[in-house]
A and B are shown apart, each in its own frame.
Chain A
């Protein structure tokens, strides 16, 4: 069906960009290298290599936060989406309110609110005290806006199914629940998958915001590493380029795959 090979496309671009970033890093460090030759200071590139494990360890936390936040957002978002199409106003209206609230607030504000409202430790009924780490709070803060958007995607997908489908189901004496489960939702899933993946990519790219709140993820660790290595201005370009590269190499294949799915579904629709 497809004339091009996605596998080739997927890996070539990140490789090129990664190569370019490394080349740029080397270029910036060689100029610094020349100055450093006499002073016995660590070159910017050597510093980056030294601190790479620490930065990558932070990046693992970004991935963990993004996966957990996405799982949380998907489960709660689907619930909200179903509540929004409920025939009962008691269920529908609060769900609509929550969705609009989190869809139309800045992420950073939601993040700050969660950070300040959620206690840092909870006392279990048994009297045991459990610490809630900052990254867990941040995960909840990231999940909320994505949850509202997933609810909206579900509502939109259900609304986009032609009404003829509902009517035929009714003529076959299906109940509302059966119609949703057997006829409507199976058609929604494929429509929802590309936007769902888009939101995952967006969410992952948002996770460095947690650095502002002291979560030691990739951005926070990059900044801490630059300070620890002596906070010299020539660190900025190589360190931030490296940070950009790891995010790009992770996200770009996902976005290629999403585009491919979109194309396939639009062709098959």
Chain B
């Protein structure tokens, strides 16, 4: 089942990249289409707390849904969040099933060949491990051992290729963490933000985050590749810049109880425009 999903995802990505290579000219079709339609379809994760997850009435909520709402408000259209998975999000964007991705996507060079990833990034995170106390002391300890992961997350590849772990990828976090508890794997490889939230919840006594993240990788919003240099990509770059500049992201951290990230604070400080000349 998981293999199938991976194969399907791979085919989808290949198909998307094949179609992407044909269209190098700047187009603004998608942007116009959104204005004509009056709704903006944004691809968000469906089960990734607190970025995008379900409310008990079934509606989507979270940091990324709030960010998508600001985009829709600026365009004067209604927002329609569409649930994507890590395996199909880029294909959905290129096909036109969604107009924009704000879906916990790490900005990677291979992904930039397929979709237009907007700078500046709006969040950042990195792979780390959660394990029973005293089991793991460094990344090298997972060599040749089973490690639980989540399907479609590129951290799995890092754990396998760089550290030689045997990754068992699950469809959901709940299942993966249960597998860790029942001893199917020595550690759970995932986002540092998510793991520190788990450890803070008091549900994981006798568990720890024993290693530092390998690196921290920014997350970018994405538009279709052929719109990257047109209105859509340029407008989104402005949106992302403003999220940092006016403190939207810092407010969202507070609103959703995320541990304040030094990176977001740093970006907020750096992306201020010096307009002191207005005082003269």
Contacts and interface: CB of A to CB of B under 8 A. Distances in A.
Given A54-B54, A54-B57, A227 B172 contact: yes
Given A108-B1, A116-B11, A233-B178, A223 B47 contact: yes
A224 B47 contact: yes
Nearest to A225: B54
Given A41-B203, A233-B174, A228 B83 contact: no
Interface string A38-73: 010100000000110110010000000000000000
Interface of B: 1, 4-5, 8, 11-12, 46-49, 53-58, 83-85, 88, 95-97, 171-175, 177-178, 181, 201-203
Contact of B56 (A41, A54, A121): A54
The 3 closest A-B CB pairs, nearest first, are: A227-B47, A233-B178, A228-B53
B174 A226 contact: yes
B4 A112 contact: yes
Contact of B173 (A54, A116, A216, A227): A227
Interface residues of A, number: 30
A120 interface: yes
Contacts of A236: 174-175, 178
B40 to A, nearest CB: 14
A178 interface: no
Contacts of B202: 39, 41
A109 B11 CA distance: 13
A228 B56 CA distance: 9
A108 B4 contact: yes
Given A216-B83, A223-B172, A228 B54 contact: yes
B8 A112 contact: yes
Contacts of A235: 174
B257 to A, nearest CB: 12
A223 B174 contact: yes
A232 interface: yes
A216 B85 CA distance: 12
6 contacts: A53-B56, A212-B4, A216-B46, A216-B58, A228-B56, A231-B49
